[in-house]
Structure 1
């Protein structure tokens, strides 16, 4: 009897959720108010982190900005204040160091309060073949792109659970959904970030923490300088994304409690294809899309080993 009841419940809810998803393709979801929320954004000194800061500021949020770049932080703080943020507090934090994250997190709790929206945005890329990637940069990739998420969750998730209110946002990548040549360490770190965020989301659901939301963001190449020099083979299908467009999509996804956001939309179709194509066909398709060699002309930003 339990099997029959559970099976009927599963089928009924599956149909309901499918219909709900189809409705949301036509009717936009209601956007939640983030005014008064305490929003922490890592990597806020430039790029997508800065744009997200300005958009949250215009919505009346209290901002907590982290970056290793003090000058970038100052500029983002200034712009956010001018954009209407309820309050802006910035902290120099090296997200590759666990103890630094915990130390600054304690400061935030004492000086600002409990973070209610956590945006793990800080990231780096090596951009070399696996054999040519220095060990130190491989480790740094994992520390910034993956392990930092563990430590920020450890620092801020307990308060969200205590009040059953909060939002965990992981800025990952489409490289966290499929392997890419010359991005072995980056792909590994982003795959891990996606898996980690999904796992915590399931934990929250199993604990009945319906007020703690999760959004995983997987964009294609963004024109921020991080992947400077890269080219896309078919820009109509897989365009290099403009930062302003991506930031607006992320803010909308957060405000609508969207669980996963792939940008551009074509990535949803491509991800579905990956699930059932034979390996050789998938590799052929990757070559056709230019994924095998789009990193050939990579320049990126200067990094220290």
Structure 2
């Protein structure tokens, strides 16, 4: 077959595929919307109980980690509040103990250090009991210099946002397998789906956590560990981060990435976890939008994203440079 004929056939196949995609798109949109509506209305299956279980929450010293810790305690779960800032974790424990009749203790640990996590697990088991709920919440959001970040800052972001999830899995998952039950929740970000310009390390690390949890979910299915549930949370920006709130007020990014409260996210996360949901997007509509976006050719995805967000991110770079 000649090169000209081969190229012609490839172009013809691409054209047929594009026509087919265009024809199927309305049905795919309808199916995506209906599936979200049904999930919203039914919220099946019935939520499980975690009363008396033990949860490790990383990054529990402030913001979303604190809100999730309080929400889990509300469900009767004992809390190991973990943070590299021990005083923040102790404050979280104090709030739990003032409100809920559960056991809670603060622990200082660096989630990027496998040895410290192993030691943490031993302490938590001795103090509270075996861990059956793991919340991977610790994270780093912004570089000090986004245009020319220091290599150490890039490495730290990848280590905290992505690598640490491998270490927590290695430490806390085997006991769950032995008990044949458990919950693993990873706080990812919509940035892992909708890339953030000038935040490549953040975007990459969050996309990596989403892929990691999808692979883990498949591994557990192959091992018939049906009672270990893996949930990935893809939220937009949160009001819990003062720097993000200031940025939103300055450049109006909330029009693109609406800010949501930590309490709202925590309630939705725990609710979805107990129902065994695989992925939770916040706001919910984002799950439809990102699936629709992926139907488009790559260059269209980029052009559409830049059309909607380009001017805002130019202002963002000016503000951060």
TM-score class, shorter-chain normalisation, is 0.7 to 0.9
Residue 268 of structure 1 corresponds to 287
Question: How far apart in 2 are the matches of 1:62 and 1:292?
Answer: 46
Question: How far apart in 1 are the matches of 2:309 and 2:138?
Answer: 26
1:8-19 correspondence runs (5 A): none
1:152-163 correspondence runs (5 A): 152-163=168-179
Q: Are positions 1:64 and 2:80 aligned together?
A: yes
Question: How far apart in 2 are the matches of 1:295 and 1:35?
Answer: 48
Residue 166 of structure 1 corresponds to 182
Q: Are positions 1:31 and 2:47 aligned together?
A: yes
Q: How many positions carry a matched residue from both structures?
A: 284
Does the CA contact (< 8 Å) of 1:122 and 1:145 recur in 2? yes
- Provide, for residues 100-123 of structure 1, a one-character-per-residue CA deviation record: whole Å limited to 9, x for no partner: 222222222233221101000000
Question: How far apart in 2 are the matches of 1:254 and 1:212?
Answer: 11
Residue 53 of structure 1 corresponds to 69
Q: Are positions 1:248 and 2:267 aligned together?
A: yes
Does the CA contact (< 8 Å) of 1:141 and 1:186 recur in 2? yes
Question: How far apart in 1 are the matches of 2:228 and 2:144?
Answer: 37
CA deviation after TM superposition for structure 1 residue 298, in Å = 7.4
- Provide, for residues 228-275 of structure 1, a one-character-per-residue CA deviation record: whole Å limited to 9, x for no partner: 433375746642112221111111111211110001122112211221
Residue 240 of structure 2 corresponds to 224
Larger gyration radius, structure 1 or structure 2:
2
Does the CA contact (< 8 Å) of 1:57 and 1:81 recur in 2? no
1:63-212 correspondence runs (5 A): 63-127=79-143, 132-212=148-228
TM-score scaled to structure 1, two decimals?
0.85
Question: How far apart in 1 are the matches of 2:147 and 2:131?
Answer: 40
Q: Which SS does the other structure have where 1:230 is aligned? A: helix
Question: How far apart in 2 are the matches of 1:23 and 1:244?
Answer: 24
- Runs of 5+ in structure 1 lacking a partner? 1-17, 301-305
Residue 5 of structure 1 corresponds to none
Does the CA contact (< 8 Å) of 2:146 and 2:317 recur in 1? no
Q: Which SS does the other structure have where 1:297 is aligned? A: helix
CA deviation after TM superposition for structure 1 residue 96, in Å = 2.5
Residue 280 of structure 1 corresponds to 299
